[in-house]
Amino acid sequence: MAAAPGEVSGGQGNGGVTAIAELTISSLPLETRCAPFPLRQHGGFWLPETFLPGLEAARARFEPRPSDVLLASFPKSGTTWLKALAFATLNRAAYPPSGEGHPLRRRGPHDCVQFLESALVVSDDMFASLPSPRLLSTHLPYSLLPEGVKADSSGCRIVYICRDPKDVLVSWWLFTKKALGTQDGPTNGGNKPMLSNGPYWRHVLEYWAESKRRPQKVLFLRYEEMTRETTSNVRKLAEFMGCPFSGEEEADGVPDAIVGLCSFDHLRSLEVNRNGANDFNIKNDSFYRKGVAGDWANYLSPEMAAQLDLVIDDELRSSGFSFATGGR
């Protein structure tokens, strides 16, 4: 039986895939400065070891459909918000945003939209049983996505959200301290903390370049712009996903109702997000900290910020991309 949108059906385990992948994984370069996640270098990125079997499974067995929408992000750049907005927008006919029974009122956004690199390890059925159009998510870099998703002939659409690196860093730091219980943040006793899934600038640049090459297939959003103009970005998202708001929906205030349903204050206030936990046993409330742009200034000294900006500027030089919002 098909599962409801965002609902995952049970299925057979896939220990075989995990076992095969583990042989290769143990030979990849190891990084331990991102406690509590050991990272392995793969395809030029430092990825959490625990997600590598899922990556292998996704690349080997994920069967894309032309109507699929994949939400892609670097950790802590707006994943939870984007999942909520896209889920509410895509499924608004079945679940009106103001309805009391809306799935987002009883399940966290991460439970409504599953990660490609984690769900397939549990079961092949997880995605196969979802009705079209399917909404999926990933923290993987573009270059490591399943080939079928990236093929020019594929109908799959990708929505990427990027955020100021300084806010990503601070958000990740505080998340690991709170949600994962690490004393010093992701340092593991060393003096140079690491973020998982990086380097961040390469992650962003890959998706950005693809959004320039195939704008009808890859939509590039910015967290800062979304905080400023949420409703117009939701309209953009709806159009891109192939479900623009009708005149009647506009008159009924549907876009604003979606924005309200998915707002930081509303999601954070829900029982499921105050006291629930996701499939990884991480408390849902750790995905809602402050939800603003520029909070890094309360944690990084001007010198630290300048140092980080320098590194990023250096890496972005000649790319044509800038993290400055309203930039290219």
Nearer to ligand PAP among residue 77 and residue 211 (C-beta): 77
190 binds ligand PAP (CB under 6 A): no
What is the closest distance, in whole angstroms, from the C-beta atom of residue 157 to ligand PAP in the complex? 19
Give the span between the Cα atoms of 151 and 217, in whole angstroms: 10
- Residue in 6, 78, 108, 255 binding ligand PAP, rule: CB under 6 A: 78
76 binds ligand PAP (CB under 6 A): yes
Contact (Cβ atoms closer than 8 angstroms) between residue 47 and residue 203: no
Q: Which of the ranges 21-29, 51-59, 285-293, 313-321 carries the binding residues for ligand PAP, by CB under 6 A?
A: 285-293
- Residue in 52, 72, 77, 86 binding ligand PAP, rule: CB under 6 A: 77
The residue to which tokens 């039986």 are assigned = 1
> Is the sign of the CA dihedral 79, 80, 83, 86 positive or negative?
negative
What is the closest distance, in whole angstroms, from the C-beta atom of residue 264 to ligand PAP in the complex? 4
State the Rg of the chain over Cα: 19
Nearer to ligand PAP among residue 167 and residue 206 (C-beta): 167
73 binds ligand PAP (CB under 6 A): yes
Nearer to ligand PAP among residue 212 and residue 290 (C-beta): 290
Nearer to ligand PAP among residue 76 and residue 157 (C-beta): 76
Mark whether 42 is an active-site residue: no
Picking from 152, 132, 167, 170, the residue whose alpha carbon sits closest to that of residue 217 is 152
118 binds ligand PAP (CB under 6 A): no
Nearer to ligand PAP among residue 258 and residue 312 (C-beta): 258
- Residue in 171, 197, 211, 284 binding ligand PAP, rule: CB under 6 A: 171
291 binds ligand PAP (CB under 6 A): yes
Picking from 80, 87, 122, 125, the residue whose alpha carbon sits closest to that of residue 103 is 87
Contact (Cβ atoms closer than 8 angstroms) between residue 116 and residue 54: yes
35 binds ligand PAP (CB under 6 A): no
Dig out the tokens for 260 from the structure: 């309200």
CA distances from 11 to 39, 53, 119, 325 (A): 28, 17, 11, 43
Give the span between the Cα atoms of 82 and 237, in whole angstroms: 10
102 binds ligand PAP (CB under 6 A): no
State the number of binding residues for ligand PAP (CB under 6 A).
21
Site string for ligand PAP, 249-268 (x = CB under 6 A): -------------xxx--x-
Picking from 118, 119, 141, 146, the residue whose alpha carbon sits closest to that of residue 197 is 141
DSSP symbol at 31: E
CA distances from 134 to 116, 124, 191, 277 (A): 12, 15, 42, 23
In 196-286, at which residue ranges do the beta strands (DSSP E only) sit?
Answer: 218-222
289 binds ligand PAP (CB under 6 A): yes
The residue to which tokens 């990708």 are assigned = 158
- Residue in 4, 65, 75, 309 binding ligand PAP, rule: CB under 6 A: 75
Which residue in the list 42, 102, 110, 139 is annotated as catalytic? Answer: 139
What is the closest distance, in whole angstroms, from the C-beta atom of residue 207 to ligand PAP in the complex? 14
- Which residues contribute to the site for ligand PAP (CB under 6 A)? 73, 75-81, 167, 171, 174, 262-264, 267, 287-291, 295
